[in-house]
């Protein structure tokens, strides 16, 4: 009897890695332990020099002149981005209906309204053609999400933001390393956010990063990250005992930065592995009822995949069941956000989302998956379900 059935879990409960191929697996670099020990033996275990080093290394890897500030999570970074973009109660923000809820929940923290926008069926990203008619006098910003690692069409989005004087916020939680027309999202967007949550391409166990285009906002971002206090001035002995802005405790710790610093050394290899796995799925899945979502056949896109998503034209659950029979985990992972009551109920005019909501399925794609595993999964799919 499998552990899952012993524990009374249902057929799609998380798969124990000992029993098959799980959908996600965190990457911890071999040198992380040494890095952590170094921090344990030092004075700083909270936000200290390693956080600064991680910010520097991360910006160097992206080759960006923007300022980067590390945070406690991708969600923290998004909230800071919304605050810095000046989003307030009563404002509207154009945002994709299909994403992790973390993209949209921080808009509710501020009393702003997420205006859900349809998906592009080729990428499941925000549908550029569905944006303009949703813009009103209350619209303050557009949020784009690079679903599964496929970048949004940032040049078009930037153009529309300029036309209507809106801020562009890129949620790149799933797309570290990806580029659109040879540029990272942070070169287009006013604010770009990243996540280092446990199962992301690189992880700090929990953590995030915020890239800021306008250098004048960097000090404010740092204050908002730390209770509204100018921490570096305080550390220099200038302690003016006043807080003028509502700040948060959104900093990254040196502990987390240790994991991030050691993982960054492996980022190129991790990305290559993910790209090879995706290519294997694309080239070997040959079933009329399945398409693999990808864009690497399009020169505008450089995709660093976090997910391999299938569009399954018929009976997705039967395919999930069959994969599970062969000890392969698959799942939807994300859901249309208007299914959650907190966002105010289902939106009616999202035809692509309606069409695809029962058709997408995510397959394992991480450093523990071998090409032979991918080929096995392709065979299972090609034999039908
Ligand atoms: C698209 C997207 N945005 C935001 C987040 C939130 O990141 P975090 O979990 O680090 O807060 C995630 C992942 O969790 C995500 O996938």
The answer on 244 and 348 residing in a single domain is no
- The count of C-alpha atoms lying within 13 angstroms of the C-alpha of 262, restricted to the half-sphere facing its C-beta, is 20
Ligand 1 near 195 CB (within 6 A): yes
The answer on 51 and 67 residing in a single domain is yes
CA distance 273 to 373: 13
Question: Which residue out of 23, 24, 72, 75 has the highest number of ligand 1 atoms within 8 Å of its CB and is therefore the one to mutate?
Answer: 75
- Domain range for 371: 3-17+267-382
Per-residue confidence (pLDDT) for residue 10, from 0 to 100: 73
The answer on 360 and 212 residing in a single domain is no
Least confident piece of the model among 23-32, 133-142, 269-278, 293-302: 293-302
Question: Which residue out of 100, 103, 331 has the highest number of ligand 1 atoms within 8 Å of its CB and is therefore the one to mutate?
Answer: 100
Per-residue confidence (pLDDT) for residue 12, from 0 to 100: 75
List, for residues 15-37, the tens digit of each pLDDT value. Answer: 888 788 999 999 999 999 999 99
Q: What is the mean pLDDT of the chain?
A: 95
Q: Atom of ligand 1 at shortest distance to CA of 195?
A: 10
Ligand 1 near 221 CB (within 6 A): no
pLDDT at 5 over 60: no
Per-residue confidence (pLDDT) for residue 296, from 0 to 100: 81
Binning pLDDT at 50, 70 and 90, where does residue 143 land? very high
Residue 248: give its domain's CATH number.
Answer: 3.40.640.10
CA–centroid distance, 173 to ligand 1, in Å, is 5
CA–centroid distance, 240 to ligand 1, in Å, is 35
The answer on 80 and 10 residing in a single domain is no
The answer on 39 and 11 residing in a single domain is no
pLDDT at 232 over 70: yes
Ligand 1 near 74 CB (within 6 A): yes
Query: Across residues 141-148, what is the average pLDDT?
Result: 98
Ligand 1 near 104 CB (within 6 A): no
Q: Is residue 356 part of a domain?
A: yes
Of 72, 57, 24, 17, the closest CA to residue 174 belongs to 24
List, for residues 244-269, the tens digit of each pLDDT value. Answer: 999 999 999 999 999 999 999 999 99
pLDDT at 8 over 80: no
Domain count, the chain: 2
Give the global pTM. Answer: 0.95
Per-residue confidence (pLDDT) for residue 3, from 0 to 100: 53
pLDDT at 102 over 60: yes
pLDDT at 1 over 60: no
Of 225, 243, 264, the residue at which a domain comes to its end is: 264
Whether residue 53 contacts residue 73, with contact meaning beta carbons closer than 8 Å, is answered with no
Least confident piece of the model among 114-118, 151-155, 291-295, 336-340: 291-295
The answer on 296 and 224 residing in a single domain is no
Query: 55-93 as b/e, with b when 16 or more CB fall inside 10 Å?
Result: bebbbeebebebbbbbbbbbbbbbbbbbbbbebeeebbb
Of 244, 264, 284, the residue at which a domain comes to its end is: 264
CA distance 383 to 140: 49
CA–centroid distance, 95 to ligand 1, in Å, is 15
Query: Across residues 5-9, what is the average pLDDT?
Result: 54
Question: Which residue out of 101, 143, 152, 197 has the highest number of ligand 1 atoms within 8 Å of its CB and is therefore the one to mutate?
Answer: 197
Per-residue confidence (pLDDT) for residue 13, from 0 to 100: 78
């Amino acid at each position: 009897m499998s552990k899952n059935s012993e524990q009374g879990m249902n057929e799609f409960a998380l798969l124990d890695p000992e029993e098959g191929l799980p959908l996600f697996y965190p990457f911890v670099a071999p040198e992380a332990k040494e890095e952590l020990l170094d921090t344990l033996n030092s004075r700083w275990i909270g936000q200290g020099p390693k956080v600064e080093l991680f910010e520097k290394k991360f910006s160097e890897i992206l080759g960006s002149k923007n300022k980067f500030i590390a945070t406690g999570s991708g969600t923290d970074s998004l909230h800071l981005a919304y605050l810095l973009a000046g989003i307030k109660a009563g404002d509207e923000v154009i945002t994709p209906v299909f994403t992790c809820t973390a993209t949209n929940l921080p808009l509710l923290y501020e009393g702003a309204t997420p205006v859900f926008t349809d998906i592009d069926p080729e990428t499941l990203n925000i549908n550029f053609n569905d944006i303009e008619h949703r813009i009103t006098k209350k619209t303050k910003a557009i949020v784009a999400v690079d679903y599964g690692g496929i970048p949004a069409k940032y040049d078009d989005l930037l153009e529309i933001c300029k036309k209507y004087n809106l801020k562009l916020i890129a949620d790149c939680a799933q797309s570290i390393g990806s580029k659109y027309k040879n540029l990272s999202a942070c070169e287009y967007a006013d604010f770009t956010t990243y996540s280092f949550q446990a199962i992301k391409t690189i992880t700090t166990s929990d953590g995030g990063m915020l890239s800021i285009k306008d250098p004048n906002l960097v000090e404010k971002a740092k204050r908002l990250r730390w209770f509204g206090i100018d921490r570096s001035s305080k550390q220099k002995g200038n302690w003016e005992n006043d807080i003028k802005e509502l700040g948060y405790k959104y900093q990254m710790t040196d502990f987390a930065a240790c994991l991030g610093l050691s993982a960054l050394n492996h980022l190129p290899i991790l990305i290559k592995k993910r790209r090879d796995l995706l290519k294997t799925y694309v080239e070997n899945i040959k079933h009329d009822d399945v398409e693999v979502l990808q864009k690497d056949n399009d020169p505008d896109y450089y995709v660093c995949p976090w997910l391999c998503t299938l569009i399954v034209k018929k009976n997705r659950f039967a395919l999930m069941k069959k994969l599970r029979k062969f000890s392969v985990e698959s799942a939807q992972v994300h859901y249309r956000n208007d299914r959650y009551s907190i966002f105010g109920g289902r939106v009616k005019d999202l035809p692509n989302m309606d069409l695809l909501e029962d058709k997408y399925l995510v397959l394992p794609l991480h450093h523990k998956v071998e090409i032979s595993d991918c080929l096995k999964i392709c065979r299972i799919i090609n034999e039908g379900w």
